[in-house]
Amino acid sequence: MRRVLILGSTGSIGTQALDVIRANPRRFEVVGLAAGTDRAQLEAQAAEFQVDDTALGAVAAEQLVRDVECDVVLNGITGSVGLGPTLAALETGRTLALANKESLIVGGDLVTAFAAPGQIVPVDSEHSAIAQALRSGARGEVRRLVLTASGGPFRGRTRESLAAVTPAEALAHPTWDMGRMVTTNSATLVNKGLEVIEAHLLFQVDYADIDVVVHPQSIVHSMVEFVDGSTIAQASPPDMRLPISLGLDWPHRVSGVGRPLDWTTATAWTFEPLDHAAFPSVRLAKRVGRAGGTYPAVFNAANEQAVDAFHAGALSFPGIVDVIERVVDAHDPPPALTRESLAEAETRARDAADRAIAAASA
C-alpha cells in the first residue's frame, strides 16, 4: 500500500490522481491533501478519502509535507509557488512525483542538489514518456531526446495572424484539458520551452541534444534516439492518468488506468518541424536554460505576469513572449543561486514584466 500526499488536489492533476486512487483502493492510500483556495472541494475530498491532514496555500502545503508520513508526494501545484513543497519533499527523502515543472525549472541546481538518484519521478506526459523509453538502453547510449508538441490551437498560423487571438481561442486546446495557465502556455509553446529545461535537468542531457517536434495527434508523448539509430517512442491516448499512476508507483504499472490504442482502426500519425518564427518561445527557453542561475525563474515569472495580462485584455497573444524576452534581456543575475536570490529575481522580473505590459498597451 503506497501512502500518497497530494498537493494541488483540487486542480487538474490532483483530481485525476484521485481518480487513479479511487479505482485502486488496495494499492494507494491518501494520507494528506493540499489545495490552493478551494476549501469546499478540499473538504469534500478529505471526507471521501477519510483524510485528516489537509492544508490551504503553498506555505501550509510545505509544512504538510514535513508533518505527514507518506511514501510519495505528488506535487500538482501550478506555478513557482510549488518550489517550497518540492524542496521539502526532497529534504524528507520521500519520492517526489513531480507535475509542478516550474519548481524544478525555477529552482534548477538548487533542486537537483537535494535530489537523490531516482527520487524525482516526472509526471508530465513528455518526461514520463522519456523515463519509460530510457529503460531501453544505458544513458551513455542516448543520442538525443525528442519532445513532442501538439502545436496547440494555432498550429500552422503565422506570427502576424496571431495578433488578434482571444483568450477563449487560446484556451481551446485540441487534445488536452488543462488549467488556464498551462493551456495558455501550450498555445504559446512556452510550456514546451519549460519542458525542454525540465528535460535537461531531469535527464542531464545537453540542450543541443534536446529537440522538439510537432505531433498534432498527441499519441506519441516523446521519444529517445539511441546511438545505433534506434528510436524508442512511448505511445498512448492523451490521458494524464497514465503518467500520474506511474508517478505514484514508479516503475510499476497500474492495470486498467488508461485505455489502450485501437490498432484495428486505420490511423495516421504526423510529425512536422516547429515554426520558430511564429513560436519563438522554445529557442528563448533554451537560451535561458543554458544561462542557468536565476534566468529560468525570470523567464517563468515574466510569463506568469504576461499570461494574466493577456487574459485581462491588457496584452496581445504574441506580446506574451515579447514581454518574456524583454525581461530576460534586461535581467542582471545575482552572483549566487539561493532561495533568497531566486525570490528577489522573481519579484524584480514580475515588476519588469508589469512595466513592459504597461508600455505595450500604452
pLDDT in tens, 267-323: 999 999 999 999 999 999 999 999 999 999 999 999 999 999 999 999 999 999 999
In order of their start, the domains of the chain are 2-123+240-249 (3.40.50.720), 125-239+262-277 (no CATH), 293-362 (1.10.1740.10)
Percent of the chain with pLDDT over 70: 99
Q: Are 81 and 57 in contact (CB under 8 A)?
A: no
Separation of alpha carbons 359 and 312, rounded Å? 15
Each residue's pLDDT tens digit, 94-109: 999 999 998 999 999 9
Residue 265 has pLDDT above 70, yes or no: yes
Each residue's pLDDT tens digit, 333-345: 999 999 999 999 9
Residue 90: pLDDT band by 50, 70, 90 thresholds? very high
Separation of alpha carbons 102 and 191, rounded Å? 10
Q: Are strands 220-226 and 142-149 parallel, antiparallel or unpaired?
A: antiparallel
The set of cell numbers assigned to 10 is 483540487
What's the mean pLDDT in 258-264?
Answer: 93
Q: Residue for cell digits 537535494?
A: 114
Residue 44 has pLDDT above 80, yes or no: yes
Residue 70 has pLDDT above 90, yes or no: yes
Cβ-in-10-Å burial (0-12, 13-18, 19+) of 209 comes to middle
pLDDT score of 177:
65
pTM recorded for the entire structure: 0.93
Residue 362 has pLDDT above 80, yes or no: no
Share the mean pLDDT of the chain. 95
Residue 78: pLDDT band by 50, 70, 90 thresholds? confident
Cβ-in-10-Å burial (0-12, 13-18, 19+) of 117 comes to exposed
Residue type at 322? D
pLDDT score of 203:
96
Q: What are the residues whose beta carbons fall under 8 Å from the beta carbon of 159, sequence distance 6 or more?
A: 277, 278, 318
Residue 79 has pLDDT above 90, yes or no: no
Q: Are strands 72-75 and 95-98 parallel, antiparallel or unpaired?
A: parallel
Separation of alpha carbons 255 and 233, rounded Å? 20
